[in-house]
Copies of this chain bind each other. A is one copy, B any other.
């Protein structure tokens, strides 16, 4: 593929941690190129002022977010904007023929009522919400290939859905008795300094947060629901914070509808993910550092008494955000799905 045919990418909201990771990945992507960076800051910073590691490596200054100004300059926009802001810009981008991968939650929940309940605001782009494809290639690869708008999944839902869908889809587990106990590195909290993430407060502590209230709980449920007829799933989700930079481990407790062997469980996982470029089903229990800076999801399972315990590890910034976005981009543009990823 000649230089001139590289996919031209714009990152909208370039000062987020997810943008930093997307930039890092795109700098090594053989068939995509970083064409534009936009931010909401004023004055607009050079990207190496925001992320000094790019000094001497990436000579770009951010520009204001203006969909009109992006027309014909980019093929796809990665929107790394806060919830509620993304959907203000998506319609214009699509209108200019720019495909969009949205990192916010704006296009993840198909029911506007869910969005309003969990995000405390009405949805303002119902038309595109209907057409948006949830960007989990392991579940929606075919639809992603033609999608104009992709809702890039949340980090926790990615790790949870990959752990649950195979068994749920096979009808092997109770859909209303699912517990997802998960733990994330601190980059998941974003780049904004907060008192609870001040180094001396965070360095040597472990805690749960937003117990029963985290917005990813409903996203996990809505991602699972399509695999049921008529019923809806019920998930209890408890996120925790680990004093490390990156990584998510989900420990998922599932109730088999009838007694099941670990061999059967593993067979389901192996068959479900056969040929998947970024899912590794393993005997060994996963550790987050074995997927760090990669797009892999490592899965293992155990049967313990009356439950199946599934362990699922991803890098929250890669498979949980920017790596998955690049994977989606690759599928959307017909590029080798592993291009630019490890």
Contacts and interface: CB of A to CB of B under 8 A. Distances in A.
Interface of A: 17, 27-28, 52-53, 55-57, 177, 179, 181, 183, 185-187, 191-195, 197-209, 211-212, 234, 236, 238, 240, 242-247, 249, 251, 253, 280, 282, 284-294, 296, 302-307, 309, 311, 313, 342
A212 B242 contact: no
Best-surrounded residue of A202, A206, A289, A313 (most CB of chain B within 10 A): A206
Contact of A280 (B56, B192, B197, B303): B56
A186 to B, nearest CB: 4
Contacts of A205: 244, 247, 287-290, 292
Contact of A207 (B208, B249, B302): B249
A305 B200 contact: no
A285 B207 contact: yes
B287 A245 contact: no
A292 B245 CA distance: 13
B17 A342 contact: no
B208 A285 contact: yes
A342 B52 CA distance: 14
A27 B251 contact: no
27 contacts: A27-B342, A52-B290, A53-B290, A53-B292, A55-B282, A56-B296, A57-B342, A181-B253, A183-B206, A191-B200, A193-B193, A193-B195, A193-B197, A198-B199, A200-B245, A203-B245, A204-B288, A205-B247, A205-B287, A205-B292, A206-B244, A206-B249, A207-B285, A207-B287, A211-B309, A212-B305, A238-B309
Given A52-B290, A55-B280, A244 B183 contact: no
| Copies of this chain per assembly | 4
The 6 closest A-B pairs by CB, nearest first: A212-B304, A205-B289, A207-B287, A193-B198, A199-B202, A181-B181
Contacts of A183: 183, 206, 240
B204 A292 contact: yes
Given A204-B289, A208-B251, A285-B207, A236 B342 contact: no
B197 A311 contact: no
Contact of A251 (B28, B181, B287, B342): B181
